[in-house]
């Protein structure tokens, strides 16, 4: 199936929904890894929105990407409960081990901040390619970095 056909299929599958834009964007991103430029017009047309309105919604939410992420995505929680358990130092260790700052995509690794994963009683926590990990410490950093480089 071509990308265009798949996109039409996704848009059509949400046709009956009230407020369908977010569900459509989630599905498009799940399918393509990001929201391709070419998806904006068909979505806008189907929902009777302007292209700018669709772009505005994509831009508002942290989750939606206009460019593909790295082959690995590491999300580290920066919120207070994780800070109380050494999260700030952990971030510095990870930045050093990965050779990149939080918020950067480099060498196929996307390292970004997340504000709370609801794992506040087993902090510090992170999400590694979708998998949740808690009770992180300095000893876990090398293994995490190695997994990211693989």
Residue numbers at the binding site for other proteins (CB under 8 A): 17-23, 25-26, 47, 56-57, 60-64, 77-85, 88, 114-123, 125, 127, 130, 132-135
Least distance from C-beta 27 to other proteins, angstroms?
Answer: 10
Cα(23)–Cα(91) distance, rounded to whole angstroms?
32
**Residue 122 annotated in ligand binding:** no
Residue with the two structure tokens 């876990």? 140
Q: What does 32-91 look like in DSSP terms, one character per residue?
A: HSS--GGGHHHHHHHHT--HHHHHHHHHHSTT--SS---SEEEEEE-SHHHHTTTHHHHH
Least distance from C-beta 80 to other proteins, angstroms?
Answer: 4
Instruction: Give the nearer residue to other proteins in terms of CB position, either 1 or 87.
Output: 87
CB-based contact 100:111 (threshold 8 Å):
yes
Instruction: Give the nearer residue to other proteins in terms of CB position, either 61 or 66.
Output: 61
**Residue 77 annotated in ligand binding:** yes
Least distance from C-beta 31 to other proteins, angstroms?
Answer: 15
Task: For residue 75, give both structure tokens.
Answer: 């999300």
Least distance from C-beta 6 to other proteins, angstroms?
Answer: 20
Instruction: Give the nearer residue to other proteins in terms of CB position, either 25 or 145.
Output: 25
Instruction: Give the nearer residue to other proteins in terms of CB position, either 2 or 113.
Output: 113
Strand arrangement of the beta sheet that strand 131-133 belongs to: 104-106, 109-114, 72-77, 126-128, 131-133
Binding-site residues from annotation: 77, 82, 116, 120
């Amino acid at each position: 199936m071509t990308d265009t056909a798949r996109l039409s299929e996704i848009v059509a599958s949400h046709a009956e929904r009230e407020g369908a834009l977010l569900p459509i964007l989630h599905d498009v991103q799940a399918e393509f890894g990001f929201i391709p430029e070419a998806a904006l017009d068909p979505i806008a047309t189907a929902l009777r929105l302007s292209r700018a309105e669709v772009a505005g919604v994509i831009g508002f939410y942290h989750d939606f990407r206009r460019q593909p992420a790295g082959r690995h995505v590491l999300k580290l929680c920066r919120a207070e409960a994780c800070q109380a358990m050494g999260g700030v130092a952990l971030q510095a260790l990870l930045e050093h081990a990965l050779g990149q700052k939080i918020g950067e995509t480099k060498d196929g690794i996307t390292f970004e901040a997340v504000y709370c994963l609801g794992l506040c009683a087993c902090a510090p926590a992170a999400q590694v390619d979708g998998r949740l990990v808690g009770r992180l410490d300095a000893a876990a950093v090398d293994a995490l970095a190695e997994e990211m480089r693989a």
